[in-house]
Amino acid sequence: MRSFLLLGLFVLSFSSLQAQVLTFDHGEMEFYTNTVLSDIEAVTEEVEVKLDVQTGTIEIAVNINSFEFEYETMKEHFNDKYMESDKFPQATFKGKITQDISTINEELEVDGSGDLTIHGVSRKIEVKATLSKNDGLTVIKTKFPVVFKDYGVDDPSILTKPVAKNVEVKCTLYLKGDG
């Protein structure tokens, strides 16, 4: 009888921990850069996210090809010439939020650090974000700069003049429990 009770407690505690992993429900990731010739902006809603609220570990992945641009030609140049998305199809972030996020009752500013991998190159970065609740979902909002050359990506150029050296990445991600 005691074994059944312990087994029941173990199963309950395990399922409780499983319910603490949040995954992507909806939202978007975008990047923006202004150049001498024009502003360049792209957005995607195809993002994979896993956030363990018990440990603060977070994993984000985005397919490079999923970014939509104002013009199809921009998307082709971005994927073929600069990002080489056939060779490097995903950008990922694997890191940890340093604050305790096991309960989020109001907007909470957090710090995170981890490895951002773009174009096959990983670099440690630090980001600031806000976490909040909205209609039963956990919302993550963040923005941070990315310098192309830090990830082995040539600066986009026109007639050998660079038009952008870095971009601002902005995310608004809505997460739901999967348990």
| pLDDT recorded at residue 155 | 64
Please write down the long-range contacts of 150-154, taking CB distance under 8 Å and 24 or more positions apart: 150/121, 150/123, 151/118, 151/119, 151/121, 151/123, 152/119, 152/120, 152/121, 153/82, 153/83, 153/118, 153/119, 154/81, 154/82
Integer Cα distance of 90 and 88 in angstroms: 6
| pLDDT recorded at residue 39 | 79
Q: What residue has token string 């907007």? A: 107
CA dihedral (75, 80, 84, 88) in degrees, to 10, reads 60
| pLDDT recorded at residue 156 | 60
Integer Cα distance of 126 and 154 in angstroms: 23
pTM above 0.75, yes or no: yes
| pLDDT recorded at residue 34 | 78
Side chain identity at 170, as an amino acid letter?
K
| pLDDT recorded at residue 15 | 42
User: Would you give per-residue pLDDT tens digits along the chain (179 residues)?
Assistant: 444 434 444 444 444 444 489 999 999 999 998 766 667 899 999 999 999 999 999 999 999 999 999 999 889 988 998 899 999 999 999 999 999 998 888 899 999 999 999 999 999 999 999 999 999 999 999 999 999 889 998 766 544 445 566 889 999 999 998 64
Side chain identity at 178, as an amino acid letter?
D
